[in-house]
Structure 1
Amino acid sequence: MHILIADDHDLVREMMASYLEKEGGIKVTQSANYDQAFTELKKNGPFELVLLDYKMPGMRGLEGLKQALGASGGNPVALVSGDADRTVAEEALGAGAAGFLPKTMSAKSVINAVKFMALGETFAPIDFMTAKDEDNPAAGHLTKREQQVLKGLSVGKSNKEIGRDCGIQEVTVKLHVKTLCRKLGARNRTQAAIAAKDQRLI
């Protein structure tokens, strides 16, 4: 997997690149500003995933995102930010971003998110997206695909069966199950299905 990370904070960018490359099978190209990133995208792309810092020089917020999406060859582009709020995240996702990654995420979470988005899925941490919600924090924040997987879990289907029903790979179903467990505060797929029924999500 070859991804592009663009961030003007050298330490943040280099740390992200380091722990992604240590994971194995991931090659990272780095850029310190949006203009460099866009040049890389045009010259050496498409990348399997592009991560753009929301406030780096030249980015222009969502305008930079939209421009990068147009040049990505249909491959996913996501935003990374240390201070953008949920409104920005929602607007980015609405504009076609593959995800939104706060810089407060752990290394392991970033790695999982990168793999998830590279498979063509959408990622946004539920705790960030629902920070101001009080009632049923998971409701309304499950993607259509997550709802399909959750429905399969609720009737006891295996990952293979769910993948066949949804037309996705089994490895993708596994990632969805992990995300659902995290979103629903469940330890396993059975607890996720029970929690979903209790919260009337399915």
Structure 2
Amino acid sequence: MRVLIADDHDLVREAIASLLMQEGFEAVETVSDLGEAIAQVEQSGAFDLVLLDYKMPGMNGLEGLARMKAANDGKPVALLSGNMSRAAVQDAINQGAAGFVPKTIASISLSNAVKFMIAGEIFAPYNFMQEPDSAAGNLSTRETEVLRGLCDGLSNKEIARNLDLQEATIKLHVKTLCGKLEARNRTHAAMIARDQNLL
């Protein structure tokens, strides 16, 4: 069984490849972006499964999935991600993804998921699909406006001016947002918002 892993993080890519080889997959190849993945398929023929990092260069959301599916001659293409919303996973599956593999998945589960998808089934972790999306529905209109400001790289002062509020009020909103999004800081909150398509 031939598997291609495309991920722009060297450690993640090599760790997944190593796990699969330990589980008996003999032909596991790795590349670092979508362009390389498509070139690899064109050069060596379709793979039994291609795993694409959802956020790597060239993906442009689900456009990359469609391009890879076309290149891989109808064989399964699935998405890898460290942080992807349930709605985004459902969209990907609706558009023909063979499934979604979290980067935190246990090694035995990873092996089983890959075999499952190669067999033509659709894989998404049951627990993940049962969880409500973490924050999308929990933000107030004002919190969403503040979050948009964070994503635009604005300071608290600039957000306050734009929304005609006190800077102290914005600080409180940022603190609440970080709590709701389980973010370490304002930059992390903006990253989560982008990853989960909250805006």
Aligned length: 133
Residue 71 of structure 1: CA displacement?
1.2
Distance in structure 1 (CA, Å) of the matches to 2:60 and 2:86: 18
Distance in structure 1 (CA, Å) of the matches to 2:113 and 2:63: 23
Counterpart for residue 48 of structure 2 = 48
Distance in structure 2 (CA, Å) of the matches to 1:85 and 1:94: 14
Distance in structure 1 (CA, Å) of the matches to 2:102 and 2:118: 18
Counterpart check, 1:34 vs 2:34: yes
Structure 2 counterpart of 1:69, which letter? K
Q: What per-residue deviation string (whole Å, max 9, x for no partner) do you get for residues 71-104 of structure 1?
A: 1111100000011111110000000000101112
Q: What per-residue deviation string (whole Å, max 9, x for no partner) do you get for residues 171-193 of structure 1?
A: xxxxxxxxxxxxxxxxxxxxxxx
Distance in structure 2 (CA, Å) of the matches to 1:2 and 1:42: 14
Distance in structure 1 (CA, Å) of the matches to 2:61 and 2:91: 10
Secondary structure of the corresponding residue to residue 101 of structure 1: strand
Structure 2 counterpart of 1:72, which letter? N
Distance in structure 1 (CA, Å) of the matches to 2:67 and 2:20: 25
Residue 23 of structure 1: CA displacement?
1.2
Secondary structure of the corresponding residue to residue 67 of structure 1: helix
Residue 26 of structure 1: CA displacement?
3.1
Q: TM-score, normalised by structure 1?
A: 0.64
Structure 2 counterpart of 1:90, which letter? Q
Structure 1 counterpart of 2:104, which letter? T
Structure 2 counterparts to residues 156-167 of structure 1, below 5 A: none
Counterpart for residue 62 of structure 2 = 62
Structure 1 counterpart of 2:37, which letter? A
> Relative contact order (C-alpha < 8 Å, sep 6+): which is higher?
2
Q: What per-residue deviation string (whole Å, max 9, x for no partner) do you get for residues 46-83 of structure 1?
A: 00000000000111110000111111111100000011
Gaps (5+ residues) in structure 1? Answer: 134-202
Structure 1 counterpart of 2:96, which letter? G
Distance in structure 1 (CA, Å) of the matches to 2:26 and 2:94: 28
Residue 25 of structure 1: CA displacement?
3.7
Distance in structure 2 (CA, Å) of the matches to 1:96 and 1:117: 12
Q: What per-residue deviation string (whole Å, max 9, x for no partner) do you get for residues 107-129 of structure 1?
A: 11111000000011110001111
Distance in structure 2 (CA, Å) of the matches to 1:25 and 1:84: 26
Moved over 4 A (4+): none
Distance in structure 1 (CA, Å) of the matches to 2:103 and 2:121: 20
Distance in structure 1 (CA, Å) of the matches to 2:57 and 2:46: 22
Residue 41 of structure 1: CA displacement?
1.4
Counterpart for residue 112 of structure 1 = 112
Residue 130 of structure 1: CA displacement?
1.0
Counterpart for residue 127 of structure 1 = 127
Counting aligned pairs with the same residue, the percent is 53
Structure 2 counterparts to residues 144-183 of structure 1, below 5 A: none
